[in-house]
Structures are given as structure tokens and as C-alpha cells.
């Protein structure tokens, strides 16, 4: 398994040929639960069309390309079908946020798996999270 540093990028095709992936996100915030989201963004970085984010409130969306398959107080897993992502969706953004007001996150991580095997991970350094109530932990996006 490869581990990314903050800001590191790689072509998905260089990591795996699979188009069915799982993205596991986790976070902690002292004294409260976290919420996990997957946003589908268009070419300009805005929410694509009228598609709400995938979350515990809406566990499947983005034209069935993304489904929240498990979620708890500190973690969530999203199944992705890259072949089902609508053409207008150029980025899938994975976010965790603290649920409580004014409560900062303590930790955050994201792991991309294929058939249960980890392919790549990113673990936030807690010193980089000072005062953050929401974190973008990872992106999957199209490149021409």
C-alpha cells in the first residue's frame, strides 16, 4: 500500500485498473461525532447539477455512482462505481466534519481499497488540523 503526503497526487490508473473502489474515511473530534460526505463537483468546482452530497442522510446519490455503505460516529465507507459517474461530475470530494458547534477535528484519514485490499492511504498529521471543523480528505477527479 502506498501512503500519500499532504498534497500528493497520482493517476488512479497508476494505482489500480479497477473501476469499483471503496473509499474509507475516518475522523475524530473530542466530545462529538463526525459526519462524512461525498460531493460531486462539476468542471468549475461547483456541486454538479441538483445532486446532493452522499451522506448518512442520503446514502446513495450521484446517479448511483456513489453509495455510503457504512457509517458510524467516527468513520464511513463509500463504494464508487467510476463507470457510473455522470459526465458532468468531474470531481468526487470526500469530506469529514465535526457535528458539534465550534468543535475542531482531532484526526482524519482516508484509505482507497479495491476488493478489500488497501491501495493508497492518507493520514492527516494532527498538527496540520489546528482549529479545523471540516477537512477535505481526498479527491477522485477526471483528467483529459
Residue extents of the structural domains in the chain: 2-141
Per-residue pLDDT tens for 53-70? 888 777 776 667 899 888
| pLDDT above 90 (res 98) | no
Return the ∠ at Cα 35 (arms to 128 and 42), rounded to 5°.
Answer: 85
Q: Categorize the per-residue pLDDT at 144 as very low, low, confident or very high, splitting at 50, 70 and 90.
A: low
DSSP class per residue in 72-126: -SSEEEEEEEGGGS-TT--EEEEEEEESSTT----EEEEEEEETTEEEEEEE--G
Looking at the chain, the whole-number percentage of residues with pLDDT higher than 70 is 96
Per-residue pLDDT tens for 72-85? 777 889 999 999 99
Per-residue pLDDT tens for 100-143? 776 778 888 999 999 999 999 999 888 877 788 888 889 999 87
Q: Categorize the per-residue pLDDT at 3 as very low, low, confident or very high, splitting at 50, 70 and 90.
A: very high
Per-residue pLDDT tens for 18-31? 999 999 998 888 77
| pLDDT above 90 (res 2) | yes
Q: How far apart are CA 14 and CA 10, in angstroms?
A: 7
Res 62: pLDDT: 63
Pick the CATH number of 2-141 from 2.30.110.10, 2.60.60.30, 1.10.10.10, 2.60.40.2700: 2.60.60.30
Res 41: pLDDT: 93
Global pTM value = 0.87
DSSP class per residue in 21-81: EEEEEEEEBTTB-EEEEEEEE-TTSSBPTT-PPBBTTB-EETTTTEEEEEE-SSEEEEEEE
Amino acid at each position: 500500500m502506498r501512503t500519500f503526503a499532504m498534497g500528493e497526487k497520482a493517476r488512479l490508473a497508476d494505482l489500480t485498473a479497477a473501476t469499483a473502489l471503496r473509499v474509507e474515511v475516518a475522523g475524530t473530534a473530542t466530545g462529538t461525532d463526525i459526519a462524512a460526505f461525498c460531493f460531486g463537483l462539476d468542471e468549475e468546482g461547483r456541486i454538479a447539477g441538483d445532486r446532493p452530497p452522499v451522506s448518512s442522510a442520503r446514502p446513495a446519490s450521484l446517479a448511483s455512482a456513489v453509495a455510503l455503505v457504512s457509517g458510524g460516529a467516527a468513520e464511513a465507507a463509500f463504494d464508487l462505481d467510476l463507470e457510473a459517474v455522470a459526465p458532468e461530475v468531474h470531481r468526487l470530494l470526500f469530506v469529514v466534519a465535526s457535528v458539534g458547534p465550534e468543535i475542531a477535528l482531532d484526526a482524519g484519514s482516508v484509505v482507497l481499497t479495491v476488493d478489500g485490499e488497501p491501495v493508497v492511504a492518507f493520514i492527516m498529521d494532527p498538527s496540520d488540523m489546528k482549529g479545523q471543523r471540516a477537512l477535505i480528505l481526498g479527491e477522485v477527479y477526471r483528467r483529459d
